[in-house]
Amino acid sequence: MKKRREPFTDTQLLMTITICIFVVMYVLAMIFLGGGFLRAQQIFDLLNDNAALIIVSCGLTVVMIGGGIDISVGGVTSLVVMSCVLYLNGNGNPFLSFLLALGIGLAFGILHGLLVSYLEIQPFIVTLAGMFFARGMTTILSVNPQKLAHEGLNAFRGIKIEIPWLGYIAKNGNLIPGRIELGVVMALLCVIVVFLILKFTRLGRNFYALGGNQQSALMLGINVKKTRFMTYLISGLLSGIAGFVFMMHTGAGNATNAAGAEMNAIASSIIGGTLLTGGVGNIIGTFFGTLTLTTIKKIVVTSGLKDPWWQSISTGAMLLFFIVLQSIVLSRRGKSKAKE
């Protein structure tokens, strides 16, 4: 007797849809646009340029799975970048600068978690205030752009992992190996760790239960306040790491660093299958959601539409498409379950 195959959960279904759409979209770009899309370095560049966004999106996904929202992540990332650059330019220690990044992220995560979880203030208001505060503090630290002048860290951030067999032959006949920045490694480690937490730990299951139905979570004996607090703590911690990775990529601090990162992170999470209502989401889906979002922007630029508003229009259209698609899929799925 054959064992009945378990159907996809909502989380797995939406993640699978995102991955399939990304693959189809990228293959079509390879066929019709060619050029850089035919090289593995194009994928590596997407990862290099958006490693910090991937990390921020992971943190935001955790918060959204728990039924919350955090729009301060871009501001926190910007504050971390400027703080670390100024500290390092004052002959600071690179390891201590990483601890500084973690400390700033944790401070915001703890504060937001306490206000939202224990004082029960609306998360949008709390994190909006956090965003304004972080952006303001960044400007106070320095109005002018600051270039990273620390020789040791500049040498370290210049290290790239080379993959010759995924390289390409340049016009002069030389082999250009595929290059991946160290920040991508940190981003992938964050994806793996958060995936393991959500998939295999009790805390991860509590996040889903909290976002699915708070009353049911209480009946199951889950400490709702502590669980919600942990979502913001993780988001703040990952924002700190993202700020350090962002600094390693750009080598400079600016008041406009990570501008719009919170909106891009929300879009990446939604495209990856995370529902704003909570209880549904997957880090792997968020990872591919980030790649999908950045790829569509790259396609728009490669197509000749280089004005910034075309990227905004394409982002908005894609986000709307995925929201509608999610609604249709989950609605039809709900009806089929009801018939059973």
Running DSSP on this structure, what letter comes out for residue 35? Answer: G
Say how many domains are in the chain. Answer: 1
* CA distances to 57, 116, 145, 212 from 209, in Å: 20, 18, 44, 5
Asked if residue 143 belongs to a domain, the reply is yes
Q: Is residue 333 in some structural domain?
A: no
Place of tokens 């270039």: 147
Q: Give residue-wise pLDDT tens across range 164-211.
A: 888 888 777 788 889 999 999 999 999 999 999 999 999 999 999 999
If residue 160 lies in a helix (H) or strand (E), which one and from where to where?
strand 160-169
1: confidence class by pLDDT, cuts 50, 70, 90: very low
User: pLDDT tens for residues 35-54?
Assistant: 789 899 999 999 999 999 99
In tens, the pLDDT along 119-150 reads 999 999 999 999 999 999 999 999 999 999 99
| Cβ atoms 131, 75 nearer than 8 A | yes
> Of 36, 6, 17, 14, which is closest to residue 303 (Cα–Cα)?
36
Domain that holds residue 44: 39-322
Q: Are 289 and 269 in contact (CB under 8 A)?
A: yes
Long-range contacts: 328-332, Cβ < 8 Å, 24+?
329/13, 329/14, 329/17, 330/10
> Can you say whether residue 35 is alpha, beta or left, with left for phi > 0 and alpha for psi between -120 and 50 degrees?
left
Q: Considering the domain boundaries, does residue 141 fall inside one?
A: yes
Within a domain: residue 74?
A: yes
Evaluate the CA torsion angle 287, 290, 292, 298 in order and state its sign.
negative
CA gap 212, 210 in Å, rounded: 6
Question: Would you say residue 199 lies in a domain?
Answer: yes
CATH number at residue 202: 1.10.3470
Q: Does 261 reside within a domain?
A: yes
Angle at 183 between CA 266 and CA 311, to 5 degrees: 40
Q: What was the pLDDT predicted at 121? A: 97
Residue 131 forms part of a structural domain? yes
| Per-residue pLDDT at 4 exceeds 60 | no
Does 253 fall in a domain? yes
Tokens of 244: 């350090």
